[in-house]
Structure 1
């Protein structure tokens, strides 16, 4: 226990540090701006800040959130982040309006080009073509297409398959901690209904009888929803995402663990003591869709649906060695959190084809009454249609153009860089053209994203935080407190930067005729979980910045991004490349994922000990 002298010392230091901050935002002068529009040098720098776990984190949290010195320290932290640079930058753009929602409206000819093929025809064609092929890197995993083939051949029915999956959950979940809600009787009921449809020869879709897991912030009727926290709600309805999956016969397997509120990309939840990486349980799994990625990586479900506000689909996919698509803003309709302008949904899956079919089902036929359709054009049928055009055309990539910002690409762990360079070389060997590009002001963009996601998170959690009646992790409390301290000037400046950056990136794609921009998915290899964090969590902003350095652009600008496994490091942990796509063009980055899966990483190695193999379980 901390003694009174140590406590007084901490308070004294807090007061001194707080006074240094002068309790105000730094003055902004356009003439003295440290970062000017037009500067092009690579500017992402490592953050120098202490990592806190255990009792020091408890003490700092108490001082920041429940003492008179808290506002002083919070202002210092924000000033130290350099958010005044965002205001300086935005002040140089007086004619640009702040962009609140990153909803991009495109011209009719571009929409017509996207609509070259319909989803239903392409989905059927993919099944008939037998994608993924036997040579696919998904070998070892039992994909959605494997379920369909086994049902068609009569090797098993959904009831027999789900009994095996239930045994797999009961074996793996106690030490991987991937499920926050799992009702095996409900799974059995769904499986019996699916088995009856298959017996009658009337399956609803390629996903009929396929187990799909759901992140614990998406409403599933009757399943306890916690959003990673300690307050439990029992929804009386399904989210639109879940309704669409049920309509296609998918078996909703359960809800998966996430960090409290999705606050950290590291993926650990101290309330639930999980989730752990199936390749090495002493390592983080990535977050915030941590249980989602682990459920897929461990072989329990071929598909999980998550949300992504700061890499929450792509980071855990990268760290757990699976595929993760965060679609563009507004592409997949959902019901929860529509006030959050950085949030998108999408599938985490065992194969590129499973990503594609989940995307096809979730993104087709936008409801004209849904918020996103209304935001696009008032629901007048103008949203660009989703398509899978060309995704399986991977033997040649002639005409495909991939942008690379080399200074950024190579600013990662050497093993990650080498693996991603090898993957890039494989795409070039298939005919793709590599285009050197420069993306200026990444630091400003990173801070603009931080200003948005921090304030929106604080808004979402303001009531339980202010009530003081809800138990929260220390890192969650600090994050909310920072978000509540940001000023209107800082938030609006971030939104003006969002407008500038959207125009800049779209101009880059148009100028170079790009299909994607490629980079690593994370800047660091899968980190270890500190022992002290098991009870209280970890606050480690420098590590978080390294994890998110290739991810945030897609969230700030509403662009689609995809994490694609490309190899393993010297410790046998997964490595991943990231594809950033243009608004409404998810199919282009999915094509690159298909190509890498087929021609580069031809066989993946599932976790050795923490893996459920349905083939072996049922002796298929």
Structure 2
């Protein structure tokens, strides 16, 4: 007797369902939540690019075997440890938005310290001497226009000409509208001529990442298809209100899924230090356009290092702020990991951009969670102490040495040198230990992959052309169960409390230091051209020091720390407590002025202003 198609399908589904249940059936391991042993282990996964990547993507996303393959990969990498630890924390409620409301007394201190921000936004932070080569920054533009040495229109003509040349080599922009840029410049000319510039940013070129809506520009979100923007995101509105010129929209990795930086649809961006190397992602174009000397500031988004990693690989400063510090409006609002931040040529430019982006916040979707009847949303930004860089004796820096040292020797040496400089200026180094980093990192991965799968679910099923690696990432995110995700959110709540009340409070820390990436900037394999790469072992190494900031909503900053034997940049990471960006910026400024010997990249296209 013939079986119907429905019966056959049901039988096959039952078999695969049984396999999946078996793969999910891990015993709950006995775990001591107080164990502070260093437990990170390397990821295990195949590295594929080119034709092999296409085949692997087809197997994992187009065949019945795919979900089994992905489950095996997850099991091989110990994702069941998240459930094991979560099971030991029955009294911990899951946390979805990692936000910390300040008590009234602390909020008042921020309000008092923030009184200097209007003056900084009006006049800048002044000039500073540097050991290395200097980039043309926000204050330089301000002085140029103030002295009458140039007008915004004259400057933007030169910037656009330089971008035209650089774009041929570096492929940084997904959208550039020269006529629109010159219209903005003409408006800035009129304000300067009338003696009424809106701020220190008036006439300064700024770029934003290709997931931030800019009126009149197509937004791709790194993908193959775009949506025409009919509005400005609140981030763009704040910049325009201060007179900044939105120069264009920068290439990002598709959907932000990879920290390596390459986008197959745009065949770029390219690293200005060496075009054979990755740029870091996902805010890759934003990092490159600043590193190449074309503009002083670009805006990125960071859900898993997407500001810090490209800043590290491109040799610039990148600040991923406290979660909810900088409001924005786009589909990623469904993410509980993503936060924004400036990527800048100097610590000073990062500080000014931070003050601009975090000021005048609207009543966004985080407002209700941070409003207690007396304090209106996030505390105002502050930059007090930014110039107090000769004496760091009031700064306490935590170091988890086993974690710090778990990186390439050249990177460790450069980052230790940065620490020693801070110590020579009086900073106190404090030994710390953070429990269960492995479970925390895996919890971050479970949450962000699940959220990404939701955001890209429609495109995944609609026939939209999607990179092979992106398809695998969506399928991986869809593989997690509700049990997995809720367990991860319980780990998040536990980690949030550990970081706030034990690591920072008990040790009286201002920040925690580590490398930004565990490996030197990697080369782009030849097979990745036009296709991309899936290399989770490398991704793990790149992200080894990244997840805590996103999981717990903490501010974190990449500071250039030097260069490796191949001349590629090395990044040093500072991780702060909630709402303490000003402390990170101060130490970054001290390192930049007193320690770092800056080298411009080979592909440097700064206009002659």
TM range (shorter): over 0.9
Contact 1:330/1:372 (8 A) holds in 2: yes
**Cα displacement (A) at 1:440:** 1.3
Aligned to 1:473: 467
Q: Distance in 2 between matches of 1:341 and 1:540?
A: 25
Q: Distance in 2 between matches of 1:590 and 1:406?
A: 23
Greater CA deviation, 179-188 or 69-78?
69-78
Task: Deviation per CA, 1:478-525: give whole Å up to 9, x if none.
Answer: 000010111000000000000110111112100010000000010001
- The runs of 5 or more residues in structure 2 that have no matched partner are 1-12
SS for the counterpart of 1:117 is helix
SS for the counterpart of 1:371 is coil
Q: Distance in 2 between matches of 1:263 and 1:129?
A: 36
Q: Distance in 1 between matches of 2:126 and 2:497?
A: 37
Contact 2:283/2:300 (8 A) holds in 1: yes
Task: Deviation per CA, 1:316-373: give whole Å up to 9, x if none.
Answer: 0000000000001000010112110000000000011111111111111332x21111
Q: Tell me how large the CA RMSD over aligned residues is.
A: 1.8
Aligned to 1:381: 376
Structure 2 CA distance for partners of 1:597 and 1:124, relative to 1, 3 Å = same
Match of 2:106 among 107, 110, 129: 110
Task: After TM superposition, list the pairs within 5 Å mapping 1:126-275 onto structure 2.
Answer: 131-133=126-128, 135-136=129-130, 139-275=133-269
Say yes or no: does 1:495 pair with 2:493. Answer: no
Say yes or no: does 1:516 pair with 2:511. Answer: yes
**Cα displacement (A) at 1:71:** 2.0
Structure 2 CA distance for partners of 1:78 and 1:589, relative to 1, 3 Å = same
Contact 1:21/1:76 (8 A) holds in 2: no
- The runs of 5 or more residues in structure 1 that have no matched partner are 1-14
Match of 1:26 among 15, 18, 24: 24
Q: Distance in 2 between matches of 1:110 and 1:27?
A: 47
**Cα displacement (A) at 1:535:** 1.8
Q: Distance in 2 between matches of 1:378 and 1:115?
A: 16
Q: Distance in 1 between matches of 2:461 and 2:478?
A: 11
Aligned to 2:604: 611
**Cα displacement (A) at 1:29:** 4.3
Task: After TM superposition, list the pairs within 5 Å mapping 1:179-578 onto structure 2.
Answer: 179-336=173-330, 337-367=332-362, 369-377=363-371, 381-467=376-462, 469-506=463-500, 507-578=502-573
Structure 2 CA distance for partners of 1:161 and 1:333, relative to 1, 3 Å = same
Task: Deviation per CA, 1:169-196: give whole Å up to 9, x if none.
Answer: 1101111010000111111111111011
Structure 2 CA distance for partners of 1:489 and 1:132, relative to 1, 3 Å = farther
Contact 1:366/1:373 (8 A) holds in 2: no
Contact 1:28/1:87 (8 A) holds in 2: no
Aligned to 2:61: 65
SS for the counterpart of 1:306 is strand
Task: Deviation per CA, 1:282-329: give whole Å up to 9, x if none.
Answer: 000000000000000001110000100000000000000000000010
Contact 1:213/1:305 (8 A) holds in 2: yes
**Cα displacement (A) at 1:376:** 1.4
Q: Distance in 1 between matches of 2:577 and 2:446?
A: 23
Contact 2:370/2:376 (8 A) holds in 1: no
Task: Deviation per CA, 1:58-83: give whole Å up to 9, x if none.
Answer: 11111111112122212222222212
Q: Distance in 2 between matches of 1:29 and 1:64?
A: 26
Contact 1:398/1:431 (8 A) holds in 2: yes
Task: Deviation per CA, 1:424-463: give whole Å up to 9, x if none.
Answer: 0000010100000001111100100000110000000001
Contact 1:140/1:613 (8 A) holds in 2: no
Task: Deviation per CA, 1:556-579: give whole Å up to 9, x if none.
Answer: 111000000011111111111000
Match of 2:592 among 597, 612, 618: 597
SS for the counterpart of 2:529 is helix
Q: Distance in 2 between matches of 1:442 and 1:130?
A: 38
Structure 2 CA distance for partners of 1:219 and 1:129, relative to 1, 3 Å = closer
Contact 2:121/2:356 (8 A) holds in 1: no
Q: Distance in 2 between matches of 1:195 and 1:373?
A: 36
Aligned to 1:80: 76
Q: Distance in 1 between matches of 2:575 and 2:179?
A: 41
Task: Deviation per CA, 1:371-419: give whole Å up to 9, x if none.
Answer: 1112212786153221111122111011210000000001111000000
Q: Distance in 2 between matches of 1:61 and 1:455?
A: 18
Task: Deviation per CA, 1:75-121: give whole Å up to 9, x if none.
Answer: 222222212110010000000000011111222222223333225x2
